[in-house]
Amino acid sequence: MAPKISIIIPVLNEAGCISQTLSALQALRAAEHEVVVVDGGSEDDTIALCQPLSDHVIKGPRGRSRQMNAGAQAATGEIFLFLHADTFLPQDGDRLILDGLRQHDRSWGRFDVRLSGTQLFLRIVECLMNWRSRLTGIATGDQAMFVKRNLFEAVGGFPDIDLMEDITLSRILKRFGPPLCLRERVMTSSRRWEKNGILRTVSLMWRLRIYYALGSNPQHLARWYGDLKS
């Protein structure tokens, strides 16, 4: 029997999109993979919408890294796939992960990403995101990171920080081997790019990365990120 994948989704007030995301995962549930949703304190109908479409809906401490770690503790699969609430896997995503990890002898990886919007500049942004990730071996949450359970537990899961948890975990996982960079694409919402402006969002993300690389405290960056988004 193929290893079971636990799809772990952190949510917070995602009633507007979570039903569509979870509906797209029902074929994977039918294939005996599992969906674990971790709510960080939603005040809308998120939990009620998730319950009939998930294997487990649990409450966790607010914060994406803490929610994903809580989901991993509740999960039973041999592989953890961390999925954003507004992101859709490609067709046969489970097969792509399982075959890719086995054939390339890898323990973790990610997909290429496509942004949902139609603007030409978004095509450039996603191309640069995928190219940068492939060049550096650093994955982001938008790319649906996946990792074998034993490795995830060995490194202690996501760091308990409010921002850059995906980049930090990628750096740790790279010590155990390079990522599997699947060229098949997940589709993720471009809502934040379009709401805040594409150029403004690109500039913000690069500034955050630079400051983080220079040693800035992720907690301070998270507060700055929240202020700039508002």
Q: Would you state the pLDDT for residue 110?
A: 98
Q: Which pLDDT tens digit goes with each residue over 85-143?
A: 999 999 999 999 999 999 999 999 999 999 999 999 899 999 999 999 999 999 999 99
Question: Domain locations in the chain?
Answer: 5-229
Q: How confident is the model at residue 225 (pLDDT cuts 50, 70, 90)?
A: low
Residue 200 confidence (pLDDT): 75
> Model-level pTM?
0.90
Dist. CA 48–CA 195, nearest whole Å: 27
Rounded distance between C-alpha atoms, residue 93 and residue 183, angstroms = 11
> pLDDT confidence of 25, banded at 50, 70, 90?
very high
Residue 54 pLDDT more than 60?
yes
Q: Which fold has domain 5-229?
A: Spore Coat Polysaccharide Biosynthesis Protein SpsA; Chain A (3.90.550)
> Could you give the percent of the chain with pLDDT greater than 70?
90
Nearest-10 crossing angle of helices 120-136, 198-213: 20
